[in-house]
């Protein structure tokens, strides 16, 4: 509440699941347990909006809904960052019309804009900063939508951009007990160091 009123920005929580040897898969392979996934769905329930990148949407094809029995109707608004409108138009996020899907972009692709609007998406064009979408401008736009809490669920690239802009207020790290050694993995050691530097107050939950 105070973040929303004082700083004039939504309160952003982020989550990231990784292996014991600080890696994540670059596909939809799951490494966490049922309890961790239930906590993740609880976070979706607690936040008004869930934010991700078009890359995550395209590769994982997530529904971005809360799937805890009895809380499905509290699924968050979906927000996708997609500067060049590269998102696929046949994703699951477009199937659920009850929870609005917003796409923040900066493109003049009229054909893709028309396709996405027909799928029910609401498009918001925002300026660029260093050839990327201006995250500060985007957060102010989200605030104008009267959204005070946002859950960031994405890969390390977008998470790092939010960390660099100091736009994340709270971080949930889910560490799996096993190591993963596979060509389809990404080492996130640098991201974890950045998170550790940005957040001094920590609480371990087993």
Inform me whether the pLDDT recorded for 39 exceeds 90. Answer: no
To which residue do tokens 């974890």 refer?
Answer: 192
Average pLDDT over residues 67-74: 88
- Of the pLDDT bands very low, low, confident and very high (cuts 50, 70, 90), residue 26 is low
The whole-angstrom separation of Cα 155 and Cα 28 is 11
Instruction: Specify whether the CB–CB gap between 89 and 83 falls below 8 A.
Output: no
Tens digit of pLDDT for each residue in 180-190? 877 678 899 99
Q: Which whole number is the average pLDDT over 15-39? A: 78
pLDDT over 80 at 197, yes or no: yes
pLDDT band at 78 (very low <50, low <70, confident <90, very high): very high
pLDDT at 176: 86
pTM, entire model: 0.91
Q: Which residue has the higher pLDDT, 94 or 202?
A: 94
Q: How many CB atoms lie within 10 A of CB 200?
A: 6
Say if residue 35's pLDDT is above 80: no
Distance CA 116, CA 129 (A): 24
Of residues 131, 178, 166, the one with CA closest to residue 14: 166
pLDDT digits (tens, 9 = 90+) for 109-165: 999 999 999 999 999 999 999 999 999 999 999 999 999 999 999 989 999 999 999
pLDDT exceeds cutoff 80 at 32: no
């Amino acid at each position: 509440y105070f973040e929303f009123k004082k700083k004039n920005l939504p309160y952003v929580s982020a989550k990231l699941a990784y292996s014991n040897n600080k890696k994540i898969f670059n596909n939809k392979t799951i490494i966490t347990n049922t309890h961790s996934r239930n906590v993740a769905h609880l976070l979706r329930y607690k936040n008004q909006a869930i934010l991700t990148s078009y890359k995550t949407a395209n590769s994982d094809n997530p529904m971005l809904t809360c799937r805890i029995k009895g809380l499905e109707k509290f699924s968050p608004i979906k927000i996708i960052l997609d500067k060049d409108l590269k998102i696929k138009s046949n994703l699951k996020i477009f199937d659920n019309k009850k929870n609005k899907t917003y796409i923040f972009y900066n493109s003049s692709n009229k054909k893709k804009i028309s396709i996405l609007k027909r799928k029910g998406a609401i498009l918001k064009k925002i300026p660029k900063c260093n050839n990327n979408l201006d995250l500060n401008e985007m957060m102010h736009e989200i605030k104008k939508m009267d959204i005070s809490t946002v859950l960031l669920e994405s890969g390390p690239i977008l998470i790092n951009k939010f960390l660099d802009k100091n736009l994340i207020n709270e971080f949930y790290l889910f560490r799996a007990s096993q190591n993963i050694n596979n060509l389809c993995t990404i080492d996130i050691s640098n991201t974890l160091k950045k998170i550790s530097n940005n957040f001094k107050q920590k609480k371990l939950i087993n």
